Structure formats: C-alpha cells, structure tokens
Amino acid sequence: MPADLDAQFAFLAEADRLKSVYRATTLHDGSRRENTAEHSWHVALYALVLAEQAAPGVNIDRVIRMLLLHDLVEIDTGDVPIHSANGAAHASLETQAAEQRAADRLFGLLPADQAQAFRALWDEFEANETPDARFAKSLDRLPPVMANLASGGGTWVEYAVTYEQLEARVGHKIARGAPGLWDWVQGKTKAWFSARP
Amino acid sequence: MPADLDAQFAFLAEADRLKSVYRATTLHDGSRRENTAEHSWHVALYALVLAEQAAPGVNIDRVIRMLLLHDLVEIDTGDVPIHSANGAAHASLETQAAEQRAADRLFGLLPADQAQAFRALWDEFEANETPDARFAKSLDRLPPVMANLASGGGTWVEYAVTYEQLEARVGHKIARGAPGLWDWVQGKTKAWFSARP
C-alpha cells in the first residue's frame, strides 16, 4: 500500500541519521571514532560469522534482525559510552527512560503492525532474557574490545579502565550469552592489560 | 575451535576496513559522503522494512545475509560509482575481475566451510538470478536514489545525470526485483527531474 510505503520510507530516511551518531570506540586503525550505523553493520556481521558460538536453539536470523535495530534509539539519545561516568551512566534509569521515548517515536513512524513487531524485537533485546537476546547482547559487547586491542587501548586508555572493570562491565556480559567467545577474548585482554605501559 | 575463532576474528578485523571505503552518495543531510559499512547496514534495514515488497518465496533473512556481505569486496576494489565514466565503469569486466580477486582473498580468511558458504551467497547476489538475489540487488539500488532526493540531487548533479539515464541505469534494475518499489520511487524522481534547476 502506498500509505505504508510513505511511512516506511520516512522511517528509513530517519534511520539515515544513525550515521551521524558517534561512539567512544574508534575504528581498528584508530583514525576516527566509529558511528553507530557502521557499528550496527559490523556487529550483525559478527553474528553471521560467529553463529556457531550461540547456545542451542538460538535463531541467528532473529539475532541479526535485533542487531540491525538495536541502536536506532541513539538517533535521539546519542551513545552513552560503557566506561563513562566510571561505568554508571550506560544503564542508568535516566538513559533507559530516554531510550524508551526514542523507541516510541522512531518505531512509531512505521505502519502499526510493523511498529509493534520491531518494538517487540527491540524490547526483547533490551530485556536480555531470551537465548536470542542474550547472544545478541553478548555480541554487542565484543567489537569495542576488538577495536581497543587493535588500536592500542582506545577507550580503556581514555577512561583509565582496569582489567577488573573490563571484566565486570563487559567480560561477564559476553560470557553470559557467549562463553566460548569470552574464553577466547579474555586471554587477549589479560595479555594486553598486563603488558600495558 | 580456537583455530576457527582465530580465522573468524581475523576476518572480522579485516571487515572493519569497509568503514573507510567512501561512496559517491552522501548522507541524506548532505554533510559528507557515505561509507560502505554504514550503507550495508542501511540497505539491510531496507530489506527488513520493505520485506512485503518481495516476490512470493523470497527469504528475507537470506536477502539480509547477502546484503551484509555484498560490498565487502570494496575493501580491495573501492566503490565504483554507478554514474561514473558515463555509466560504463560500474559493471565493466575489469571491475568484475577485481571483485572476484577480492572475494577470493577476503572470504579466504575464514574457515573453509564458512568461506565456501559466504562465497556462494556472494556469487548468488552477483549473478542476480535467484528471487532472493534479484530482490537484494533491487534494494541495493534504492538508498542512493533516496539520498539524492533528500540532499538536493547529489550524484545526479555531480555526474549530470538525466532522468532517462537514471531509469536505464537504476530504475529498470529496481523494477526487476521490486516493481512496487520502483512504482513508488519513480513518481518522486520524475517530479525531481522535471523541477530541477
């Protein structure tokens, strides 16, 4: 229906703004900060590549759909770096309330049935309880670790993060939905933190 | 297997370089050119949002997987704008050969079975013959049209493109896999070209 297409293209045009939301994490080569649109592509690719690390029964295509949508709310809220405010800002009640308002507005641009379906998927991701959401949330924590390892420390240096803080804020969350991945990454991060200047 | 993870993370690190490949198309607000990683996210989102425009039997999750992978070769080849060289460079034999070499190298970073599966999906996209590939290819042509409409002409102005050239290079290709989408977009583009300064 043309009315649906009007709404869908309005949503897709609004989504373009995610390319102008910048995160604390840099590209692997350290040349600039990463934006949330390209992060969303990269983490969806992580899901495709690392699918066999998911728990039995995880539907990777649902995980990919979640990851394509998961950060759209940042169009309104911006990115809240996980290590900012000594780790306290990222999941604050204030941040969560702002994200809920953003989800209302953004998914509300779509035709009603699609708005409901996308919102349900985003709510499921945020709740972090189903196997699909847990794997998606674990994957979402990984690319910044890999970028920091590649770029000489990145946000760990910027925010003076210790290995213990990394393990508490990031490692345990990766391990919850993807223990095999944390096993692999933990070795690399421990080596980096013990050799840090 | 750790050996597989070593290979998979090497591939994901290499993929990060797609964020530094710039296209002719700008963001909707015209503020800068778009990179291929954020384009890949946006077009995957197009697939999710516009799924009901696909022909019967199209598997949208396969389409999304294709779109996540479709432009990785540009890490080695760069983007070849569709309107450059008066429309002749984009699908030249030289460009195609360079993309094949890039696909060999990039997918070759992965464990063998995964390399084969991803390469098959990319080959299917490039061949543009299955219903999934045809829908994916049609979607891939759409975001630059929407960006040009939003930003005051963009690459149409830059490359002095006529409506007839747009229809031949882009419109017919969108119509092949997504006729309902070209119907909708055609009206907008005709209006833009007849009102152009």
Q: What is the 3-state secondary structure (H, E, C) of A50-65?
A: CHHHCCCCCCHHHHHH
Give the CATH number for residue B50. 1.10.3210.10
User: For B81-93, how does the pLDDT look when each residue is reduced to its tens digit (9 = 90+)?
Assistant: 888 888 777 778 8
Residue B14 sits in which domain range?
2-195
Best residue in A49, A58, A106 for a mutation probing chain B (most B CBs within 10 Å):
A49
User: For B159-178, how does the pLDDT look when each residue is reduced to its tens digit (9 = 90+)?
Assistant: 999 999 999 999 999 999 99
Angle made by CA atoms B142, B61, A121, in degrees to the nearest 5: 95
User: For A184-195, how does the pLDDT look when each residue is reduced to its tens digit (9 = 90+)?
Assistant: 999 999 999 999
Q: Which residue has the tokens 């031949």?
A: B168
- ipTM confidence score: 0.96
* B41 contact A CB<8A: yes
Best residue in A45, A185, A188 for a mutation probing chain B (most B CBs within 10 Å):
A45
User: For A41-76, how does the pLDDT look when each residue is reduced to its tens digit (9 = 90+)?
Assistant: 999 999 999 999 999 999 999 999 999 999 999 999
User: For B137-156, how does the pLDDT look when each residue is reduced to its tens digit (9 = 90+)?
Assistant: 999 999 999 999 999 999 99
Q: What is the mean pLDDT of chain B?
A: 95
Cβ-Cβ pairs closer than 8 A, A with B, add up to 122
Q: Domain tally for chain A? A: 1
Residues of B in contact with A69 (CB under 8 A): 45, 48
Is the pLDDT assigned to residue A1 strictly greater than 70? no
* A117 contact B CB<8A: no
Query: Which pTM does this prediction carry?
Result: 0.97
Is the pLDDT assigned to residue A197 strictly greater than 90? no
Is the pLDDT assigned to residue A2 strictly greater than 80? no
* A29 contact B CB<8A: yes
* A28 contact B CB<8A: yes
Q: Compare all CA atoms of chain B with the CA of A117 and give the residue at the minimum distance.
A: B49
